[in-house]
A = this chain, B = another copy of it.
């Protein structure tokens, strides 16, 4: 089965540019939808490199208005418009992004070829659902950074109905009905008693979640917001030896990210948003793993499969 819930890392760097890393951006596939989580400068070029089609995007989330998380948005949107996109695009972001976007578009004489469905994050004070679609939802929750900043949680809850071929044949169910039965429907023939779906299929329930914490200082309550997610991405801008700098800049150390993961009892922790001062990342990984073993580097271009994570 193709993955129906995955993230692909497009950038794991932080604000200072570094030849080794790109600024924050992640491609999230959830069911039939595709979302971009943050959009640092150059993201549209990362999409080209990774063969990810921007035309597929249903929505873009901007965690906060620091440039390394959104300076790629304007170029991406104007490029989408050059491609004559007509499908509306959802943007979840601080409301002021909308004014900035309008200003840049006006000055450039641009009119976007598509509508934007804008969902503002400004009033998010606790875990709050901002978007629901079929089998998944997107929650936002507050982080603690120098400016207003949100974390996000994608939750997929879907039942897959696996047909029982032997039973279907034995009960002479027409093949034309298999599709609706595989969507969970009972079988109904005129004048007969319905055959319950339970008899015709075995159910597999996919109940998985992914949380993204872009820029934040450590605070104990964060663990509640990301409780028990299957994969947690948490910024790890610094190592413990640069704790003072982490405190000054409202960022976290790799160890603090691991403390959140441990307290929240998540399945797996991905660390990223690394300071440009680090060329090697192994020691940051080791630092996090000393607290929470199931930690990995959010390596650029790697796809992490969420529905198959344990």
Contacts and interface: CB of A to CB of B under 8 A. Distances in A.
Nearest to A66: B108
Contact of A41 (B18, B48, B65, B75): B75
A167 interface: no
A74 B71 contact: yes
Interface in A237-262: none
**Which interface residue of A22, A45, A71 has the most chain B CB atoms within 10 A?**
A71
Interface in A65-84: 65-68, 71-72, 74-75, 78-79, 82-83
Given A74-B71, A100-B107, A103-B100, A79 B147 contact: no
A15 B103 CA distance: 19
Nearest to A23: B75
Contacts of A42: 41-42, 45
Given A42-B41, A78-B67, A104-B100, A147 B109 contact: yes
B45 A82 contact: no
Given A15-B82, A79-B15, A79-B17, A65 B108 contact: yes
Contact of A75 (B65, B67, B97, B107): B67
24 contacts: A15-B78, A15-B82, A16-B79, A17-B75, A17-B79, A19-B45, A41-B75, A42-B42, A42-B45, A65-B104, A65-B107, A65-B108, A67-B74, A67-B78, A71-B71, A94-B107, A96-B107, A99-B103, A100-B100, A100-B103, A100-B107, A108-B147, A109-B146, A109-B147
Given A18-B48, A66-B109, A71-B75, 4 more contacts: A41-B75, A42-B45, A100-B103, A109-B147
